[in-house]
Amino acid sequence: MKDQCVCITGSTHGIGFGIAEAFAKKGAKIVINSHEKDNGALDKLKKLTECYFVQSDLSTIDGNKKLIQEAKVKLGKIDTLINNAGTFQDTDFENINEEKFQIPNNKYTEFGIAVTTNTSIHEFNKYSTYCKYILMMTTTPGESGGDFNNANFKKIRDFKKLYPEKSIHVDGGINDEIGFIMRILGVQSVVSGSFLVKNDIAKSLLKLKSSVFNSKLKVKEFMMTIDETPIINEFSSFQEVLVKINEFGFGYVLIENQNKEFVGIISMADIRKGLINNDFDIDNIKVKDIINYKPVSVESDRDINYMLKTIQNHEFLISFIPIIDNRKIRGSITFFNLINSES
């Protein structure tokens, strides 16, 4: 790494200094940074490699420009930029109040709240005015290599429903399979540590963006439940179908009979066809005439790879899939977020 030039933000102490020290020991030339004056970190690192310090406040646009411009002058180039700088208030979530939760008056900075699996998402409401995102810690914080807690699948769905304008970031237990499900659920970004460093980092990064992996999770572990799925009786009116689709906002509704058995599905495409075939007279449209009686579906005990193969075996794009066991509706899965992330 002797020819590598690395710039690390927030690197005069803590994790940032540890990163800088690791690169220094490998022989990389580095620039360290803090919004405060150097605390002695520069002299320590100079004993290991060629090192420079740039003081700049990264909460401002000018501060960011200053760091990059000076780093390029000192190093000649920047091969790697590590954005480690950040701010953290070490206060128990339940004890945060207006006085302790001070928000700097800075239009360039976004703020969020980190919560553990056991913290209710309703706590976010207290700070929703200030915060643009939530960071969900999906393993035990500080536990390296921990498994993703599956309770967070529903937690993510619930948060998106309550705060559709806020973004979700996830940290903990992220591997290729969990990363794929996060894309299905519309998570903005994920933090993956152990999965990357325990294997070849480059190959592991590619796996995180792949749709091919050794599946362990069952569909039932991350699907939307019956309560989260739009369902209506086959004898409902066309207007009732429209209301149900609009209520859930998924673009489809599952149809069941009087015995609570799955009959079929009505999508927005089916509704458009019904309108066209009836000269846009909604009073003449009969629900039974626009139901898709043979939609693609999977059982709840199937794994993700089976579900994907089922979808890929069809020529047309599938945006959602009902989960059916013995003709009974168990839930559904939508792929709108996945389609958007892939595009």
| Contact criterion met (CB below 8 Å) for 29 and 51 | yes
Evaluate if residue 342 carries a pLDDT over 60: no
Domains in the chain, number: 3
For residue 117, the model assigns a pLDDT of 92
Which domain CATH number covers 29?
Answer: 3.40.50.720
User: Could you give the C-alpha distances from 178 to 56, 175, 195, 221, 302, in angstroms and in order?
Assistant: 37, 5, 11, 11, 16
Rounded to two decimals, the pTM is: 0.67
For residue 201, the model assigns a pLDDT of 67
Flag the least confident range among 118-132, 223-237, 304-318: 304-318
For residue 42, the model assigns a pLDDT of 95
Q: Which of 82, 116, 142 finishes a domain?
A: 82
For residue 9, the model assigns a pLDDT of 95
pLDDT bin (cut points 50, 70, 90) of residue 32 is very high
Rounded Cα gap, residues 12 and 20, in angstroms? 9
DSSP line for 178-215: HHHHHHHHT-SEEE--HHHHTS-HHHHHHHHT-S----
User: Could you give the C-alpha distances from 139 to 147, 174, 335, in angstroms and in order?
Assistant: 6, 10, 25
Within a domain: 266 = yes
Q: What is the DSSP letter of 138?
A: -
Same-domain check for residues 31 and 77: yes
Same-domain check for residues 65 and 136: no
pLDDT digits (tens, 9 = 90+) for 37-68: 999 999 999 999 999 999 999 888 899 999 99
Helix pair angle (201-208, 176-185), 10° resolution: 30
Same-domain check for residues 133 and 107: yes
Token pair 């019904």 is at which residue?
A: 274
For residue 343, the model assigns a pLDDT of 45
Within a domain: 219 = no
Same-domain check for residues 210 and 159: yes
Rounded Cα gap, residues 252 and 270, in angstroms? 9
Same-domain check for residues 202 and 98: yes
Same-domain check for residues 67 and 109: no
Q: Which domain holds residue 315?
A: 224-337
User: Could you give the C-alpha distances from 82 to 7, 23, 110, 158, 224, in angstroms and in order?
Assistant: 6, 11, 19, 33, 37
